[in-house]
Amino acid sequence: MTLVLSLAVAVLFGSGSYLLLQRDLVRVVGGVVLISSAATLFVMSASLTKGTAPILPLPNGQPVSDPLVQAMALTAIVITFGVSALLLALVYRVYVSHLSLDLEDLAAAEEQAEAVDEAMGGRLERAPMTAEERDEWAMR
Amino acid sequence: MITALTRTVAKLLFLPSLMIAVATLVKGYADVGDGFTAGVIAGLAVLLQVIVLGRDEVERMLPLRWAPRLAFAGIALALLDALAPLAFGQPVMTHLPPANVKPIHLGSLELLSAVVFDVGVFLLVFGFSVAAIDLLGRASPDRLP
Amino acid sequence: MGDALTLMAPIAIFWAGGIGVAAIDGWRGMTARGALVVHLAGFGALALLAARVLTSGPVGMIAGNWPAGVGIRFRADPLGIAFALLSSLVLIVAVAYEAIGGTPTRAFPALSLFLAAGLTGLFLTADAFNFYVFFELSMISAYVLTAFGGQPRQLRAAVIFAVVNLLGSVIFLLGIVALYHVTGSLDMTDIAQRMAFAEQNPAILSGTLLFVAFGVKLGLFPFHFWLPAVYTGVRPSIAAILSGALTNIGTYGLLRFGGEMLPRELSLAAPALALLGTASILYGAVQAIGRAAPDEVVAYSAIGQVGYVMIALAIGGAAGYGAAILFAIINALNKTLLFLAIDLRGAFVGPAVAIGALSVAGAPPAAGFFGKAALFRAGLTVGDGAERAALVALIAAGGALSLLYMFQAFGRRYLEPRAEERPASGRGRRRLVAVVALSLLVFGCWPEPLIALSERAAAVLPGRLP
């Protein structure tokens, strides 16, 4: 079981890192999600005891599984959920303002904008912020 | 591939999914379930509608633009419930009634201060996910400025 | 007031204020001022808590009235309170900077409050996993804050910052779970007690994971790659928040997790810390000298300055930890001043930047001198002659190099012939910067409160191992 779990964590982490190194921003977000899932799986695998569900009334004499790691895994899932929504919103914002999902294009656009900025002799007016993807971490 | 069949099924599924979400929320105190799961289920129900019917059509049925306010109400409710015991000199998140007192039952629903917290979490997660779906649902090429 | 109320009041004020400010839409001038008022109220609550902690000992509370070991524990001790006060102060300055200039969106004030809630929570918790949750709360706010402005530079900075720091957060989570797996507890005190009996290899592994995670937050030498692009890309107030408030997470985390929970592993890692610290100092200084843009100079200088914190941690013991805390406090104030001032023009600004530059270099009239002096004194408590000589040489060389790059940038910025022609910035912002600079001078002349606070904070941690 330990071997299977560690293999699963390793494969998830590896594929996540591969995606993270791509230039396409949507793949980067995918990589972040995969790596976070690897972490969640690792949390689950760190449980101290395994057995039946730890809900009262407890069955006599049978071991119950460690409820703490499940709470931690749930929290990690919630945080991943919020963070992926946030990242997608950010990527959407990038796409709206550049019509591209490539970080290199973004750097090029940045240089261009700086040249314009320099020519106009001041900072350009700023665009409005993205939506409020931030309120969800609070729950546990 | 969106056909008449998927549209019908999606519409049929909407109310039952919301009911399952509410059931998950309510029975969380005697069985498996909680506010977060309920919020995600309800959010997924809306997501299905947006994917199948398109955001514009869903917006005619549901006030999607109210979702952020729902999230604000939820987090305010949860925070209020968590901090309220401070006013009575108790640590945050203290249950009311305490653990050894039998709570009042309304059918299978137990009246606990923790339920209020979970309702807040449900509203927050539901409002947040619908707002995120709404935002990303607008992300189609023909809508770009 | 009851313990629970005193302890939770700052977090509650920041959090509820954040929700309130986020909910009022449309009154743009109001949001920034309202947030400033909430920040000040939260700082007041923190100061009350600090007074109580410093006079009558640590304050604790277990959430939900659960028995100890079951519930999540909060506690305020001098170490946590010192960093909470510092971060709150930096946030006040940054929010005031935006409020004076007329903040364009409602997102910034609300997010700054959520960030304050997260930071205060993580400095006041005694539960490792709760630390992670508050840590993520502050990081998520910071991810959105870096995008503030919406320019290509800022968006790119936000993407880089979010992806790199998410990776750091995942590694931190793995470290905490590893600690739980080894000790079977999430309470920091229990972990500290049980870690002393843990096997060495798992302990070293967890320690390394935590070190990497906090190294990423700090922008320490091998993990610094994200820092220059982000610090130069974001707006000055955000850069001040990132380097003045968020970096504290790294220093505090290393002190709390390394100094309190894994002291054996920390002293084992002392040579590596010293090496990385030296590399950081030299790398930051050399890169800063080669840069022309003032914001890049300050960004690379930030990499160099965390190196000193590493050296202090490597020295260890009460003196070393005290020096690390004092240095971190003064460095956060320096960086706040420099990032805010570097973009301004007009009267007061030149002298303010000069004071910041002197403070970074550790020259006498500014507070930075006492940071370096404490490090120096701590260094004299350990090691043989050669080690001491190396330390003295390093501090002297680092100071000389930072004096060189700071005044190179200063000269380029303020002494060039055309400098007078540029339009001056708003008077309010210039006054704010002048006040921060003045406070650095005041602390430079009267450092006793800071030194006393850092000594009290360091006394929380166990002393040097035999």
A51 neighbors A64 (Cβ within 8 angstroms) = yes
pLDDT value of residue A127: 32
Confidence of residue B145 (pLDDT cuts 50, 70, 90): very low
What is the share, in percent, of chain C residues with pLDDT greater than 70?
Answer: 94
- Under an 8 Å CB criterion, which residues of C touch A? 22, 104-105, 107, 111, 114, 129, 133, 136-137, 140-141, 143-144, 147-153, 155-156, 158-159, 162-163, 166-167, 170, 173-174, 177-178, 180-181, 184, 186
For position C142, what pLDDT does the model report?
92
Residue-level pLDDT at C419 = 55
Task: Calculate how close chain B gets to A133, using CA atoms only, in Å.
Answer: 7
What pLDDT shows up at residue C343? 77
Residues of chain B with Cβ-Cβ distance to A92 below 8 Å are 135-136, 139
For residues C287-306, give the mean pLDDT.
Answer: 87
Distance from the A58 Cα atom to the nearest Cα atom in chain C, whole angstroms: 18
Distance between CA atoms of B15 and B24, rounded to whole angstroms? 14
**3-state SS track over chain A:** CHHHHHHHHHHHHHHHHHHHCCCEHHHHHHHHHHHHHHHHHHHHHCCCCCCECCCCCCCCCCCECCHHHHHHHHHHHHHHHHHHHHHHHHHHHHHHHHCCCEHHHHHHHHHHHHHHHHHHCCCCCCCCCCCCCCCCHHHC
Q: Looking at residues C45-62, what average pLDDT do you find? A: 91
Q: Using the predicted structure, report yes or no on whether residue B83 has a pLDDT greater than 80.
A: yes
pLDDT value for C84? 95
Pick the residue with more confidence: B22 or C423? B22
Label residue C427 by pLDDT band (50, 70, 90): confident
pLDDT (0 to 100) of residue C26: 58
Q: Rounded to 5 degrees, what are φ and ψ at C282?
A: -70, -45
Enumerate the residues of chain C whose CB falls inside 8 A of the CB of residue A113.
Answer: 151-153
Whether residue A69 contacts residue A26, with contact meaning beta carbons closer than 8 Å, is answered with no
Residues C11, B82: Cα–Cα separation, whole Å:
12
Residue B90 DSSP label: P
CB contact under 8 A, B92 and C8: yes
Contact present, C268 and C204 (Cβ < 8 Å):
yes
Identity of the residue in B76, B89, B90 whose CB atom sits nearest the CB atom of C19: B76
Q: Do C19 and B79 touch (CB under 8 A)?
A: yes
Q: Is C4 on the interface with B (CB under 8 A)?
A: yes
The distance of Cα A125 from the centroid of its chain, to the nearest Å, equals 31
Break chain C into its structural domains and give their ranges: 1-126, 151-268, 270-466
Average confidence (pLDDT) over C169-185: 92
Cβ C210 vs Cβ C180: under 8 Å: no
Nearest residue of A to residue B128, measured between CA atoms: A136
Q: Please name the member of C22, C23, C61 whose beta carbon is closest to the beta carbon of B91.
A: C61
Burial code of A58-89, b = ≥16 C-beta within 10 A, e = fewer? eeeeeeebbebbeebbbbbbbbbbbbbbbbbb
pLDDT of residue C219: 87
Task: State mean pLDDT over C447-460.
Answer: 89
Identify the residue with better confidence: C4 or B96. C4
| Residue C59 backbone dihedrals phi, psi, to 5 degrees | -110, 135
Judged by a CB distance cut-off of 8 A, whether residue A71 touches chain B is no
Q: Using CB atoms, list chains with 3+ pairs below 8 Å to chain C.
A: A, B
Nearest CB among B68, B124, B139 relative to A138 is that of: B124
pLDDT reported for residue C364: 79
The pLDDT score that the predictor gives to residue C68 is 80
* CA Rg value for chain A: 22
Q: Which pLDDT value is given to residue B20?
A: 92
Query: How close, in Å, is residue A56 to chain C by CA atoms?
Result: 16
Average pLDDT over residues C68-86: 90
Within 8 A of B86 by CB-CB distance, chain C residues are: 2, 4-5, 8-9, 12
Q: How confident is the model at residue C106 (pLDDT cuts 50, 70, 90)?
A: low
Q: What is the mean pLDDT of residues C243-272?
A: 91
Residues written for chain A:
140
Q: Which residue of A has its CA nearest to B29?
A: A55
CB-nearest to A133 from B31, B132, B139 is: B132
- As a whole number, the mean pLDDT across chain C is 87
CB nearest to C4's CB, from B75, B92, B95: B92
Confidence of residue C43 (pLDDT cuts 50, 70, 90): very high
Selecting from A68, A90, A135 the residue whose C-beta is nearest the C-beta of C158 gives: A90
Distance from CA of B40 to the nearest CA of A (A): 10
A39 chain-C contacts, CB cut-off 8 A: 170, 173-174, 177
Ranges in chain A, pLDDT < 50: 121-140
User: Topology of domain A2-50+63-99, per CATH?
Assistant: Helix Hairpins (1.10.287)
Cα–Cα distance measured from residue C50 to residue C88, given in angstroms and rounded to the nearest whole number = 13
Tell me which chains share at least 3 CB pairs under 8 Å with chain B.
A, C
* C124–chain B Cβ distance below 8 A for any pair: no
Kind and range of the H or E run holding C30: helix C28-56
**CA C58 from centroid of its chain's CA atoms:** 22
What pLDDT, on the 0 to 100 scale, is given for residue C104? 58
- Is the pLDDT assigned to residue B92 strictly greater than 60? yes
pLDDT value at position A23? 84
Cβ of A72 and C177 within 8 Å? yes
At residue A116, the pLDDT reads 63
Nearest Cα to C260, choosing from C210, C332, C311?
C210
Q: Chains touching chain A at 3 or more Cβ pairs under 8 angstroms?
A: B, C
For residue B92 the two structure tokens come to: 């945050």
Say if residues B31 and B91 touch (Cβ distance below 8 Å): no
Q: Please tell me the predicted confidence (pLDDT) of residue C10.
A: 93
Q: Where are the domains of chain A?
A: 2-50+63-99
The pLDDT value given to residue C121: 94
pLDDT in tens, B10-21: 889 999 999 999
DSSP-assigned letters across all residues of C61-115: EEGGGPPTTTSPEEEE-HHHHHHHHHHHHHHHHHHHHHHHH--S-SHHHHHHHHH
Instruction: State how far the Cα of C329 lies from the Cα of C450, in Å rounded to an integer.
Output: 8
Return the bridge partners of C249, or none: none
Residue of A nearest to C176 (CA): A43
